[in-house]
Amino acid sequence: MTTNKTKIFIDGQHGTTGLQILDRLKDRPDIELLELPEADRKDIGKRAEIAKAADIAVLCLPDAAAKELVAALGDSDTVVIDASTAHRVADGWTYGFPELTRDHRKKLLASNRISNPGCYPTGAIAILRPLVDAGLVRADATPAVFGVSGYTGGGKELIAVHEQPGVEPFGLYGLELTHKHVPEMKKYSGLKHSPLFVPSVGHYAQGMLITVPITRDITTKQLSARDVHGVLKDYYAGETFVPVRPLADRAWLERDRFLRADRLIDTNTMELAVYGNEAEGNVLAVASLDNLGKGASGAAVQCINLKTGVDETTGLAVAPVAVAA
């Protein structure tokens, strides 16, 4: 960056993710926010012009609109962080999960095209990638991934539905098994086949849980909960935003039994935990995060921080958590 302040343009700043990113950046003295007049918001020429004038353009748009702006930018040096699904598995784009591998931050620093991760995949990949890399989960396996999210993950349309009386308290969706998050789960988990992903939405605003059963049919050998926990703990050692809780931790449970999905809202923290039934040889890995935080806007701001050379926690809340020793 050549100026004292980093110029950032948020295209789509009035949507759910855009508003959250704006809120995390608006008071920062190191950032100058570029804005378009309301009348120009749908003018691709004006949008491309201001994006080219920015150091970083953050796209909080539908897939088609994101692709249109990227095409209009051509080979511009502007760093693009795309929060849509349009480029998450596209060639030439770097996945915006800094904790993906030990050297992934270097790849992000070298890239000017960054795809912001989806909320569900953030948790699923955080669990599966270390186990695949360690040779404990087979790359040719088909893991099951289950998730529940607050309704804000569905954007303005789903928010409007849940603000009406009589809405379902909980529901599964994606039953055709072609959810738009599956391709990135497959690619960045290191899998050869798509996982079986079953998402759901609860009648609450924010927060998310992802669970991945580590079953005999997907592993290369019989694993204990301690085995799985040890791999995750070592993989994320020192990572501020991805703490691994103590094995079979009950301290974060409500009434010693229930894990709330909304416990990490308004933070960029994603906690991982592992539970098991040793007698049956069953293991369950859990990720807890804010679908609008580490699962969306917080991840984008973390990448902005990385690209601008400031501390990755700048402007982001870190939850106080118990970490495995």
Contact 229, 272 (CB under 8 A): no
CB atoms near residue 65 (< 10 Å): 18
* Nearest CA-CA partner of 287 in 109, 99, 134: 99
Q: In degrees rounded to 5, what are phi and psi of residue 96?
A: -85, 45
Closest by Cα among 38, 39, 45 to 72: 45
H-type alpha helices, the chain: 16-25, 44-53, 63-73, 104-110, 119-133, 155-162, 182-189, 225-235, 298-308
> Is 119 one of the catalytic residues?
yes
- 38 CB-near residues (< 8 Å, 6+ apart): none
Phi, psi of 47 (to 5 degrees): -65, -45
Given the residues 36, 66, 119, 272, the one annotated as active site: 119
Rounded Cα distance between 17 and 172, Å, is 23
DSSP character at residue 12: T
Any idea which residues carry the catalytic annotation? 119
